[in-house]
């Protein structure tokens, strides 16, 4: 398997570069008491056409701005990551919330999850219809679980699916939204086109050929419609708390009731604050083929790997050995997925005072798909940076990987 390292991570004190070749600002030191923090978002690992690159980057910028606005207002990481996801879900260009793929029955069913690195609580919904922002339901499940047991000592749910999830959301004040209002012209036309192809295949082929054609068709359906799986975000706030979230409309023409990695624990996202045995706080959000990501629990695997000394090398190795070459995916010849990760730790701020500490944040993204769109921003930045990462010419999607990233120092905090 080919390993492709397209890293922009600085080495030996050399400056870090953004996509335009400009030096990244890695000396965000808070001297005036303003809030600090950092957000990294993705608009899916899949295929991003050049003709729509501007739209993909724009939605990532808006998501970063929403999260940073929350951080500047003093919000915790979990609130900032929720704000970023709402922006990503509301865009008609992403396969999450509004504009999600339609399933075989012509309906929208969404998955989403969120994790708070401080409390380690998690909330998720699967195959959810009729709710404009699935991440809000996941977020509410997380917050309700933090309140403790229900009446008669019942354990509060952290993961709900289908009609039960929708009823729970409405009972907790989250307004319903008709699926027809969440569908877009693009998602509807893609559904009609894909349905015609499937109906034609069913008419003219025998069962054996039909099964093979359906597998090929499913691949073609998702490529042809240029659908992007799973959007997500990861955040670190001024106190060093981390949070992660993910949301998806799932694969085009999926079977009703199918739940992808975006809702599964340890598969769609992961967030965990530093502790005695883990020196780094870590946050991860994934994207790609849900079944591949579920069977490898990639989000948690990446988080664990980030405790290694060299973050870049650790992510490279886990993507290669625990994903592309995973024994759990031995029968797959094309393993598709992508991740955004960050890790942070406190360090003495030598520019200010020995009694002050800064947050050192390393952030990375990696993918085996043709491309992945990301955006990132610190609370001290005036605007977000965006980038569409692509496999180099000649690289084979599903068998090769790209990895990039950077590092920044966030403002001083009292020890």
Indicate which residues carry an active-site annotation: 230
Please report, in angstroms and rounded to a whole number, the separation of the first and last CA atoms in the chain. 46
CA distance 228 to 251: 9
Residue 295 tokens read as 């069977």
* SS3 category, 40: strand
Reported in sequence order, the residue ranges of 368-399 that DSSP labels E, i.e. its strands, are 371-378, 385-390
Going by C-alpha positions, the residue among 397, 262, 268, 286 that lies closest to residue 341 is 286
Structure tokens that stand for 286 in this block: 């994934």
The three-point CA angle 298-300-304 to 5° equals 115
Around 90, how many Cα atoms within 13 Å sit in the side-chain half-sphere? 13
DSSP 332: -
Give the residue among 388, 283, 298 at the shortest CA–CA distance from 341. 283
State how far Cα 396 lies from the chain centre: 23
Beta strands at 356-367 and 371-378: parallel, antiparallel or unpaired: unpaired
108 by DSSP, 3-state: which? coil
Return the residue matching tokens 């990132």: 376
CA 93 → CA 186, 239, 373, distances in Å?
A: 9, 33, 12
Give DSSP secondary structure letters for 150-198.
-GGGPPPPSEEEHHHHHHHHHHTT-----HHHH--HHHHHHHHHHHHHH
Q: How many CB atoms lie within 10 A of CB 135?
A: 32
DSSP assignment of 197-261: HHHHHHHHS-HHHHHHHHHHHHHHHHHHTT--B-EEEEEE-TTS-EEEEEEE--STTPPTT---G
């Amino acid at each position: 398997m080919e390993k492709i390292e397209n890293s922009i991570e600085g080495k030996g004190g050399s400056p870090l570069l953004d996509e335009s070749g400009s030096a990244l600002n890695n000396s965000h030191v808070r001297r005036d008491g303003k809030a600090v923090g950092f957000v990294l978002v993705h608009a899916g690992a899949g295929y991003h056409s050049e003709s729509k690159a501007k739209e993909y980057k724009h939605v990532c910028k808006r998501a970063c701005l929403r999260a940073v606005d929350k951080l500047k207002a003093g919000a915790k990481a979990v609130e900032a990551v929720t704000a970023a996801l709402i922006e990503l879900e509301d865009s008609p260009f992403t396969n999450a919330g509004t504009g999600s793929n339609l399933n075989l029955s012509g309906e929208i069913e969404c998955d989403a999850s969120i994790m708070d690195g401080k409390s380690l609580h998690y909330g998720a919904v699967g195959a959810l219809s009729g709710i404009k922002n699935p991440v809000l339901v996941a977020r509410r499940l997380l917050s309700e679980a933090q309140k403790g047991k229900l009446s008669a000592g019942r354990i509060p749910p952290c993961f709900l699916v289908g009609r039960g999830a929708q009823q729970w959301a409405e009972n907790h004040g989250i307004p319903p939204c008709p699926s027809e209002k969440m569908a877009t012209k693009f998602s509807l036309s893609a559904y009609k086109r894909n349905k015609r192809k499937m109906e034609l295949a069913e008419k003219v082929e025998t069962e054996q050929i039909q099964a093979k054609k359906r597998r090929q068709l499913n691949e073609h359906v998702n490529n042809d419609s240029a659908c992007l799986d799973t959007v997500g975000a990861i955040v670190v706030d001024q106190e060093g708390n981390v949070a992660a979230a993910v949301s998806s409309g799932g694969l085009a023409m999926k079977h009703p009731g199918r739940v992808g990695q975006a809702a599964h624990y340890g598969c769609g996202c992961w967030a965990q604050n530093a502790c005695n045995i883990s020196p780094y706080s870590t946050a991860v959000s994934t994207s790609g083929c849900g079944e591949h990501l579920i069977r490898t629990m990639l989000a948690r695997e990446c988080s664990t790997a980030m405790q290694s000394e060299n973050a870049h090398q650790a992510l490279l190795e886990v993507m290669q050995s625990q994903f592309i070459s995973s024994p759990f995916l031995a029968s797959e010849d094309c393993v598709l997925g992508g991740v955004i990760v960050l890790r942070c730790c406190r360090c003495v701020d030598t520019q200010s005072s020995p009694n002050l500490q800064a947050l050192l944040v390393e952030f990375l993204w990696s993918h085996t798909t043709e491309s992945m769109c990301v955006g990132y921003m610190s609370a001290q930045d005036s605007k977000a940076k965006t980038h569409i990462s692509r496999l180099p010419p000649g690289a084979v999607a599903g068998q090769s990987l790209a990895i990039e990233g950077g590092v920044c120092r966030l403002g001083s905090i009292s020890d």
